[in-house]
Chain A
Amino acid sequence: MKRPWLITVLGLALALSATGVIYVSRTAPYRALEASCGPDLAWIKKEFHVEGRTFEGVRALHEKYKAACMERCRQIDEKNRALSALLAVSTNVTPEIEQLLTDAAVLRKQCHVEMLGHFFDISRLMAPEQGRRYLQWMQAQTLTSTHSTMVPQAGPKLSDDARTPEHR
């Protein structure tokens, strides 16, 4: 009666070991990649097969862009704070409020321009086919209409004729 129990336990140990070995060996490259370049750049590296010096170029551009992006965000936040302060004491749209809205809009536009420029810069570093794929994907992610956040989900949908050109 001892042998069947021994084989049962051995089988379970074998199954556990197989699970562990395969899991660790198949997930190790992901963990190593994330540890070496962080989650955001790990995706670029893996998805678009960016290696070696090209990857170093992508990393440098990414870091530079991120720093500039943070600075623009800070400026927009500053404008928004000023706008909030003015709105708290105003009863109508004053020229100051209009000016702050214009400034914030200019900054946002600049932000978009810089972002698209960054995408083009990155795509140029990649192999042509990968670069095209990257651009298409980034455009789909960043320029897709996000009006779902503006139009109530549960409400009636706008008909084609009723939509503004931006909504179409």
Chain B
Amino acid sequence: MNSEHSVNDEDLSRLLQSWQVETPLPPRFKEGVWRRIERESARIPSLWQQCWEVLVGRAAGLLRQPVGAATYLLALLIAGAGMGYWSSSRFANHTEETWRSAYVQAVNPYSTAPER
């Protein structure tokens, strides 16, 4: 395996050495490349970006631990159940109110539709 790699590397080296670039580079090409490299390395991420990266890193660290993952899943399960309970209670209240109005309107000809 290694011998095969070294043979390939030698071939590749030979090939690269034989490669002649004939097209002239644009003026001050090297300088431009270095400037871009400097700019990228000097770039400071924004505060939000830093916070986000820290947050994601910490969350990922937490989720890698079994206790952290179990806590997260349990918390979301409870939150989901709570949301289901709350929305179904809203549905029940609204439905009962609609039924009540429907009954009063059905038996009382003088009733008016409730104002919403």
A interface residues, Cβ below 8 angstroms from B: 1, 3-4, 7-8, 10-12, 14-23, 26-27, 30, 34, 38-44, 46-47, 62, 65-66, 69, 72-73, 111, 115, 118-119, 138, 141-142, 146
- Is the Cβ of B73 less than 8 Å from the Cβ of A10? yes
Provide the bound-state CA to CA distance between A23 and B87, in Å. Answer: 7
A-B contact pairs, 29 of them (CB 8 A): A7-B63, A11-B72, A11-B75, A11-B76, A12-B76, A14-B77, A14-B80, A15-B77, A15-B83, A16-B80, A17-B80, A18-B80, A18-B81, A19-B80, A19-B83, A19-B84, A20-B84, A22-B81, A22-B88, A27-B95, A30-B95, A39-B99, A40-B102, A41-B103, A43-B100, A43-B102, A62-B106, A115-B108, A146-B110
CB neighbours of A141 from chain B (8 A): 104, 108, 111
Main secondary structure of the interface of A (DSSP, over half): helix
Contact present for A30 and B84 (CB under 8 Å): no
A26 and B88 in contact (CB under 8 A), knowing A1-B60, A43-B103, A115-B108? Answer: yes
Taking CB atoms, residues of chain A closer than 8 Å to B64 are: 3-4
Q: Which residues of B contact A14 (CB under 8 A)?
A: 73, 76-77, 80
